[in-house]
Structure 1
Amino acid sequence: MSQVSEKAVSFEPEEKKEKKEWKINVFAMLLVLLVIAAVITHILPAGKYEQIEKNGYTTVDPNSFKWIESTPLGFFDTVKSIPTGMVEAANIIFFILIIGGFFGVLKASGTVEALVSTMAKKLANREKLMIPIIMLFFALGGSLMGMAEEALVYVPLFIPLALAVGFDTITGTAMVLVGASVGFTTAIMNPFTVGLAQGIAGLPMYSGMGFRLVLFVVIYVIAVTFVYRHAMKVKRDPASGIYGKFDTNKQDSLLTAKVELTKRHKWILTAFLINYIILVFGVIKYEWYIKEIAALFIILTIIIAILGKISLDDTVESFTQGSASLIGGALIIGVSRAILVVLNQGHIIDPLLYQVSEEMKHVSPFLSVVGMYNFQVAIHFILASGSGHAMLTMPIMAPLADLLDITRQTAVLSFSFADGIGNIIFPTGGTLMAGLAIAGISWTRWARWILPLILIEYSIGLIAVIIAHLIGYGPS
């Protein structure tokens, strides 16, 4: 494999700095949060809602809350929550490792290098179109079919392409992660978030689509503008990128590569395209999730090895190296899940939900809708799964909205915005941390870069739920 191919898709966190800068180790931060969660179980009273089966899924009975005997976690139980969290997050952890192995083999075939070289030539003087087009693809995928973990496989594909046209690693990563987040934030027809939340709230499936479509356009334009301005700034001055001049070295290598797409490379890309079509069909038709998608990429890995005439030993070696490079990110996902394990075992989440809902009954509807939105944002830090978030909060928030003279559709919109915004900033989110691990970007660097966009989207979400309340946003 050529030296350029090695650099084209690097799974390793490569961060060279010209000056020392303050940063937080994400492992250390999550461990501190884990300790705080354990301490909280000794301070706050425990309580729980009874779980019920409704429409084929498990949710909570909003009228069943009761205080129970406190269940504080000791030192050993807190430590034990880490392997427990890894077991609970095993599907996403192994999915990430399989994706890493897949791209290790794809890289070994030389296809990525050849594709990037070819696309860089075709995009000459037209690279400005790349950002809005790619982000629209992932925004629609997130909004219409809940594309999240599935999008991760494209991160190591678009990073070298971004570098080849003069952008940086952040740009290549953001086109995928921020693009998908746009879709989740407005969720026009996302079955796993807004569809589920509306089902729990007793609303017609995908109702209120017109307002969410307008919000989709607004958030999409703002997100594309944010990423585009950064990309153009880096193109004018590579030292202004997140990695400064370090990305310039990789960019120079990619631009000097003269690798042509061979017939073998084209067959591999055709297999990749067919794999994507099967993936979309499986997700929509048979509700495939991580296990099925992971199996699909294992099959594709074997096909690529055959088409690329890669020996068995080299295939295993490339797969292992690709997986090994993502071990750190996979472990982060398990540790972040441990925080939720501690709060669940300490029976702390349900009392928080109950107390907030009770407090909101004593304020005006206007303040209540603001409080509901902020609470949904806060709870997403603890429970970063969109589906899990909906199943926990919507059984409480929907009837509470009735009591507060807020429409249930507004309550769903509050959840949707909180889900989408939290997905690209909170370190407790497995998909975000996996994407950053693939890209080799530290959470600290990402958070510092994305924060202005988060604040803008948060403000738009706040304005949106207030407008929704004022206009009586209903099921239409």
Structure 2
Amino acid sequence: MSINSNQGNEKKKKFKVPHVYAILLIFMAICTLLTYIIPAGQYDMIENASGRTVVDPNSFQYIESTSLGLFDYLKSVPQGMVETAQIIFFIFIVGGAFSVVQSTGAIEAGLGKITKTMSGKERAIIPIVMVAFSLGGAVFGMAEETLPFIPIMVTLAIALGFDSITGIAMVLVGAGAGFAGAFLNPFTVGVAQGIAELPLFSGIGFRIIVYICMTTLAISYVYWYAGRVKKNPKISIMHEFDQTREDVLDLSVLKAFTLKDKFILMIVLATIGLLVFGVMQYGWYIQEISALFLGMAIVVSFVANMGLNGFSEKFIEGMASLAGGAMVVGFARAILVILTQGHILDTILYATSTGVSQLPATLAAVGMYIFQCFLNFVVPSGSGQAAVTMPIMAPLSDLVGVTRQTAVLAYQLGDGISNIFTPTSGYFMAGLALAKIPWNKWAKWMIPLVVLQYLLGGILVTIAQSIKWGPF
């Protein structure tokens, strides 16, 4: 046999990571089959003292089987689309809006100016940007709010000699580390401590240590990777695709940074400022942010003299380029639809809590953490996961000798770490769509960091339980 023939066989045998749609369809099929294997069960939902609807931990009961068929499997996708419609259309609107801004050349000119300024010290921007986003995640639960920054940071990263992975990582990994190690996030720490009847934002000292550890690990990983890509761009798994991007900044023919460009970028910065103000002051969410960026695109089109037709054409181009990434959000939601309609999610929760109750205190704390890590792959909503699990985990922690504060930390880390890895996380998949990065390529890059974060999380939970972190 010839050498060329051997090489051909090796190529054939090389494993190819399935497309994210294929992964989700397979996962949906497995969950559908599980409705025939796992007994159906459910908890009753009650309203707690603060008015939040939560699980009644003493109400679990097995119910008549609700096994799902092939048609239920297929219907779960459109149902998932309906339930995540806000996020899907948010992706379209933000993508269309930035297509309008990008077409003016203002971002290209502005980033060219930054690139010249950062010449020779490009990597210094990484910790600065990541700390800023991590504080957003730690203080007010920045998640969906990161999305408008992604197209800008991807373009900047490539212009500085890095790649699109570095660009999106500065935003998502930074905010994700802060979200996982949050010390003031009202949507995770606040909700979970309220359900566990702990003083609001108590234990902040140790929580800040957790934040510093998670953020330092995240920055170190991205900084190390960016340095390698800077030395040898071809090691990037996105190298070939990044060369074909239309929004890449050509440093050899930098556009002049005109007064009009400055004005357009001021509009973009003012929009981002309004976003932060609206989220913190008025609790803005997907609809308000979508409206804000639609308004930004319209104003920019007038400043750039694009006309209504020019605006419409660029807006449609932006939306069309993100269609595949946007629709995957609905496919991801279909998994939760199947588990819920098949009434097996509560059974899994009940079985896990029963198993954890048999373990010694330290192992029970780690067991809670591991369970929360796995659960986040199907219930990626932070406040939603708290509402489902904390009413069970809080009293369970009392029984097995785990402090409630530790149980909250186990939930917080288990919920936060995989938000920028699991394809069932809507805002994360939206971010990948905006960056035009396939999930399988991101997963290949992200797996080592996720493993390190999980290990660090397990160590922090163990320490918290060892010191009897409280007040109780």
User: Is the pair's TM-score, using the shorter chain for normalization, greater than 0.5?
Assistant: yes
Asked if 1:151 is matched to 2:180, the reply is: no
Counterpart for residue 280 of structure 1: 276
Counterpart for residue 43 of structure 2: 49
Asked if 1:90 is matched to 2:124, the reply is: no
Q: Report the secondary structure of 1:472's partner residue.
A: coil
Q: Give yes or no for contact 2:155–2:248 (8 Å, CA) kept in 1.
A: no
Say which of 207, 210, 218 aligns to 1:223: 218
Counterpart for residue 9 of structure 2: none
Asked if 1:32 is matched to 2:26, the reply is: yes
Say which of 101, 113, 131 aligns to 1:118: 113
Query: Which digits, 9 at most, give the CA deviation of each residue in 1:437-465, with x for residues without a partner?
Result: 11121111111111111111111100100
Counterpart for residue 127 of structure 1: 122
Q: Give yes or no for contact 2:147–2:431 (8 Å, CA) kept in 1.
A: yes
Q: Report the secondary structure of 1:284's partner residue.
A: helix
Distance change (3 Å), C-alpha of 1:203 and 1:210: same
Superposed displacement of residue 252, structure 1: 8.3
- TM-score w.r.t. the length of structure 1 is 0.93
Count of aligned pairs between the two proteins = 459
Counterpart for residue 17 of structure 2: 23
Provide the rounded CA distance (Å) in 2 between the counterparts of 1:403 and 1:373.
16
Residue 197 of structure 2 aligns with an amino acid whose one-letter code is: G
Asked if 1:350 is matched to 2:350, the reply is: no
Q: Give yes or no for contact 2:221–2:449 (8 Å, CA) kept in 1.
A: yes
Counterpart for residue 56 of structure 2: 61
Provide the rounded CA distance (Å) in 2 between the counterparts of 1:142 and 1:367.
29
Q: Greater CA deviation, 275-284 or 306-315? A: 275-284
- TM-score w.r.t. the length of structure 2 is 0.94
Counterpart for residue 75 of structure 1: 70
What is the RMSD computed on CA atoms of the aligned residues? 1.7
Asked if 1:103 is matched to 2:93, the reply is: no
Residue 337 of structure 1 aligns with an amino acid whose one-letter code is: R
Residue 344 of structure 2 aligns with an amino acid whose one-letter code is: I
Query: Which digits, 9 at most, give the CA deviation of each residue in 1:389-429, with x for residues without a partner?
Result: 11111111111111111111101101111122111211111
Provide the rounded CA distance (Å) in 2 between the counterparts of 1:252 and 1:304.
21
Distance change (3 Å), C-alpha of 1:446 and 1:76: same
Asked if 1:451 is matched to 2:428, the reply is: no
Residue 272 of structure 2 aligns with an amino acid whose one-letter code is: Y
Superposed displacement of residue 306, structure 1: 1.5
Structure 1: segments with no counterpart, 5+ residues: 1-18
Q: Give yes or no for contact 1:159–1:168 (8 Å, CA) kept in 2.
A: yes
Percent sequence identity over aligned pairs: 48
Q: Give yes or no for contact 2:168–2:435 (8 Å, CA) kept in 1.
A: yes
Asked if 1:431 is matched to 2:448, the reply is: no
Q: Give yes or no for contact 1:101–1:323 (8 Å, CA) kept in 2.
A: yes
Q: Give yes or no for contact 2:155–2:249 (8 Å, CA) kept in 1.
A: no
Superposed displacement of residue 244, structure 1: 3.4
Provide the rounded CA distance (Å) in 2 between the counterparts of 1:411 and 1:174.
29
Provide the rounded CA distance (Å) in 2 between the counterparts of 1:335 and 1:252.
30
Provide the rounded CA distance (Å) in 2 between the counterparts of 1:313 and 1:417.
48
Q: Give yes or no for contact 2:188–2:386 (8 Å, CA) kept in 1.
A: yes
Distance change (3 Å), C-alpha of 1:20 and 1:317: farther
Superposed displacement of residue 181, structure 1: 0.4
Asked if 1:420 is matched to 2:424, the reply is: no
Provide the rounded CA distance (Å) in 1 between the counterparts of 2:243 and 2:267.
32
Provide the rounded CA distance (Å) in 1 between the counterparts of 2:225 and 2:242.
14
Query: Which digits, 9 at most, give the CA deviation of each residue in 1:332-351, with x for residues without a partner?
Result: 10001011001000111111
Counterpart for residue 310 of structure 1: 306
Q: Greater CA deviation, 237-246 or 362-371? A: 237-246
Q: Greater CA deviation, 458-467 or 216-225? A: 216-225
Q: Report the secondary structure of 2:420's partner residue.
A: coil
Say which of 261, 265, 269 aligns to 1:269: 265
Alignment of 1:188-337 (within 5 A): 188-244=183-239, 247=242, 254-337=250-333
Residue 450 of structure 1 aligns with an amino acid whose one-letter code is: M
Superposed displacement of residue 247, structure 1: 3.6
Distance change (3 Å), C-alpha of 1:344 and 1:194: same
Distance change (3 Å), C-alpha of 1:143 and 1:87: same
Q: Give yes or no for contact 2:325–2:433 (8 Å, CA) kept in 1.
A: yes
Q: Give yes or no for contact 1:238–1:247 (8 Å, CA) kept in 2.
A: no
Counterpart for residue 13 of structure 1: none
Q: Report the secondary structure of 2:256's partner residue.
A: coil
Provide the rounded CA distance (Å) in 2 between the counterparts of 1:82 and 1:356.
28
Q: Report the secondary structure of 2:250's partner residue.
A: helix
Structure 2: segments with no counterpart, 5+ residues: 1-12
Query: Which digits, 9 at most, give the CA deviation of each residue in 1:352-403, with x for residues without a partner?
Result: 1111111222221122111111000000011111111111111111111111
Provide the rounded CA distance (Å) in 2 between the counterparts of 1:333 and 1:86.
7
Superposed displacement of residue 277, structure 1: 2.0
Q: Report the secondary structure of 1:52's partner residue.
A: strand
Provide the rounded CA distance (Å) in 2 between the counterparts of 1:56 and 1:299.
35
Q: Report the secondary structure of 2:62's partner residue.
A: strand
Counterpart for residue 171 of structure 2: 176
Superposed displacement of residue 20, structure 1: 7.8
Query: Which digits, 9 at most, give the CA deviation of each residue in 1:249-307, with x for residues without a partner?
Result: 76985221321221111112212222222222211121111111111111111111112
Say which of 388, 393, 403 aligns to 1:397: 393
